[in-house]
Structure 1
């Protein structure tokens, strides 16, 4: 059984816990993945359903794995912070969650019902400081370069790539992406257009991220400017580009090239412009 949840913080080292009357326990908001749902998207959805809060994910935490009788349960966790108001007083309690409360970390550790949750809280406290996400995304599956006879900039996604682009929407939203920076080539534009159309955020095409017009100096300028903006504005962003351009992007970020697969993304969590944590995801 796969589940996902969030250790939600607000200023003052206060942690949000929920009470489940069915089990008479206190824990973090979490729940089962829907069919085909990515764990990160499920984590944000579960927090919204169980607390009424919309959160932005921060660095990932270690997963929990424990027995439920004949089955094993795995829970993926992230740190997270509310987007906007963190007031939960208006939440309508129900048969699933009949109480929820912001608690100081020390009180939360005492209130939690399970040792594995206390271990997760201890890990989360070390990673709780605010970060800003920069998602580096390789475009989805596209038409074969050899079979395409037109301008390579116009080479589109395959149907599989368009499906994958739709599946990226809740995954990018989980990290609060509000800037969509992309190569001006069609296959990159088509990878991020569903997210822009769904959220209303504007596309920011940039020729310097295309295979034809990139150079180490130009890519570094794009990345440096974007990181500077993110540090100043605390806005999550996605940068979509091509395999030959990605090594320059990662060098500008000061991290090793993870050699992303087609349609795969790396979430770089930045603090003061420096990558302090990273995670990789593929929307299937």
Structure 2
């Protein structure tokens, strides 16, 4: 009988000083080691949410996640396997200044070093492998990214149980739980712009996020299911605006519209098409795919894409 794995998440927190990329290492008090900020998933959390929370708890710095940069696996003394997911995460100067970190019983010190120096300082080979992956982002010139997130609306009341217009179908009780569960993970990617199909089930899905951010929901029929069924949808226009803006945004839409969203993202960024587009658009209700694009050159293609599902 195999023991259940322990899941955790963290990041390579980075900044640029005098045109040099520096990353943040933590010196842990109890273990007397040097490692990357990370921690275990709390009950009900999604991994991206864990990464941002743990980075803040260990360093005092609030970050938004960039590209996923790998997964480390290792055996604990208890014989259980620990699986840690990592993202690149830029630390703005404002976030660094706002940090209230002081040495404590868990973290003795923080240290900013170049990635190459980090490889010599880190206590564990699995951490060094993550930093090697991070170095590849620098080498490829795609370290600074922004996300465009395609979100399928949360679970709605079944059509057979609804007497009104389909566009007015509300969320089910499970759908409302899903809408609440994705607030933290979407915030983890720095979402500031919320764009939605005007259908009730879509607007209600992003309403908790809008409330948490203090932002308005921008409704557009261009990504609605009604428009898609009538041949009047226009994912190309919506995606074009978002790529030109180069800002983190979430687009809440319907299952049939998602393939158009992902296809237009590929076309707008000169990305080679592949089966990954189909996987990224085949979302369950309440799930979302994050496409990371280069801030400096969005036309260089989708840097990475990842999919997340709520645990409710």
TM bucket by the smaller chain?
over 0.9
Alignment map for 1:40-79 (pairs within 5 Å)? 40-69=48-77, 70-79=79-88
Segments of structure 1 that go 5 or more residues without pairing to the other structure are none
SS in 1 for 2:157: coil
Give, in whole Å, the separation in 2 of the partners of 1:250 and 1:107. 39
Higher strand share: 1
TM, length-normalised to structure 1: 0.94
Regions of 4+ moved over 3 Å: 86-90, 214-217
Counterpart for residue 218 of structure 1: 234
Please tell me whether the aligned partners of residues 246 and 257 of structure 1 are also in contact (alpha carbons under 8 angstroms): no
Counterpart for residue 286 of structure 2: 263
Counterpart for residue 98 of structure 1: 108
Alignment map for 1:78-227 (pairs within 5 Å)? 78-85=87-94, 87=96, 91-128=101-138, 129-214=143-228, 215=231, 218-227=234-243
Aligned length: 280
For each residue in 1:89-123, what CA deviation from the matched residue of structure 2 results, as whole angstroms up to 9, or x when unmatched? 85211010010011111211111111111111001
Higher helix share: 2
Matching of residue 3 in structure 1 with residue 8 in structure 2: yes
Name the stretch that deviates more: 100-109 or 88-97.
Answer: 88-97
Name the stretch that deviates more: 179-188 or 272-281.
Answer: 272-281
Counterpart for residue 36 of structure 2: 28
SS in 2 for 1:184: coil
Shift in Å at residue 57 of structure 1? Answer: 0.7
SS in 2 for 1:41: helix
Cα 1:151–1:39, aligned 2, differ >3 Å: closer, same or farther?
Answer: same
Segments of structure 2 that go 5 or more residues without pairing to the other structure are 1-5, 267-272
RMSD: 1.5
TM, length-normalised to structure 2: 0.86
Please tell me whether the aligned partners of residues 56 and 83 of structure 1 are also in contact (alpha carbons under 8 angstroms): no
Cα 1:121–1:220, aligned 2, differ >3 Å: closer, same or farther?
Answer: same
Please tell me whether the aligned partners of residues 192 and 240 of structure 1 are also in contact (alpha carbons under 8 angstroms): yes
SS in 1 for 2:126: helix
